[in-house]
Structure 1
Amino acid sequence: MQHILVTGASRGLGLAIVQHLLAQGHLVIGCARSASDVSHPHYHHFEADVAIEEQVQALFIKIRKAFKYIDVLINNAGVARMNAFALTPFKNMRETMDVNYAGTFMCSQKAISLLRKSANPRIINMSTVAVPMNLQGEAAYAASKSAVESLTRVIAKELSTFNITCNAIGPSPIATDLISGVSEEKISRLVEQQSIQKMAKPEDVLNLVDFFMKPQSNMITGQIIYLGGIS
């Protein structure tokens, strides 16, 4: 049984990750800005906004006291603001950067001391195919995830001394709340740019989570794997 922290755990892809890990017998710690409906003896939920430093600090104090260590941190919490660059309000850009990049930065930093107590410590971040595709209408979102990718590569080097690996997953479109406001036409155009021209499923991401978590993956770090292929 591993101790695994999942941010953005109350719905969408985060919820799918939580349920998948619980089914494997792990102890899962979830956090989100809202409560969780998950009821399981091995699930523990905390309400926290990863964009607010004080709340992240309090979250990790609670985790340290209750669980002593974690084996895996999955930085899944994220927001998307899909507007044309000229029409994107500054406050939306700021929120996107604060949650997607700053949240990943802070949680990864606070997790170091807890991960160092693990035999196979892992950090898994979430990026997006919007980065390599340079998708129109996603300037703020793609920029925030590009920052996550750079962070992934840098801390993969810096934390290698502690045997902590850090990798990222770049999902193609998945039918979750994150893209619920995006038109079907836009999603179709995006999918047509992929080598595998279909929507991804949560199971596709879960497969990569399992891969990065495996003890045999201890030589894999600083990598970003995109779903669907880029054509």
Structure 2
Amino acid sequence: MTQVKLGDKNIPFIYQGNKLLYPNPVKDGLMLYYDMKATSNNSQYKDTLKDISGNNNDATLKNFNFTSESGYSDKGLKFDGVDDHITSVNSIKRNSKDISIELNIGDIDKSKNWQYLVYLRDANLKQMSVLIHGGMLDVHIANDTTTQHTYYSISELNKHITVTLTGGTDMTQNVYVDGNKVNLLSGTINSNISNFLNELNIAKAYNDTNKSSLKSIKIYDRILTDQEVQHNYKLEKERWGL
């Protein structure tokens, strides 16, 4: 389905009852879906990210001023790089140890380190995160036994990023930028997520300085295929003009 319009106005969402018809990302295993396309700084519900996957995994916005520098715009949800962050209202209850994290972001200041695009942790404080660090994309895992930072290239500011992590002790880690798989630049994949609890929460990292614009987040409890990553990227490209 192409971008839906009413006259010259884009229609961000179409529902049939409670079923989301458009946009139509991959639905199998979709545990969480936030999209900032239709929310404004004047909205009654501006301080809540509604989970439109239907799984009730809403999040609360913390410390946003709801201005052009800290709030919603046509580029998504803008973080101020100081103290803006989001936190889960309810735990994300997965059915599998596998996880795919899809992020649609922009306006990254690559000179600013420790920009956590998403920070997930379980009740035992084991954490997995995707951040901008050293001008690169950093996939960070700390599982109580080992800690790893693995780095991938991110050449431009507006990017659609998908990270897949298999849940076994022999973990496979893949990263896609704009729908295409990219190579590991540095770091060693020596940590896994097999001992993480199946309930995760989005939290604020202690040194978070996020200064990006977040357009959407999707979290799956399975590994997306190359074709599914491409499908979701093409959808976001159409909707956001990437």
Q: Give the TM-score of the pair, scaled to structure 2.
A: 0.29
Q: Give the TM-score of the pair, scaled to structure 1.
A: 0.30
Return the structure number with greater relative CO, CA threshold 8 A, min gap 6: 2
Which is strand-richer, 1 or 2?
2
Which is helix-richer, 1 or 2?
1
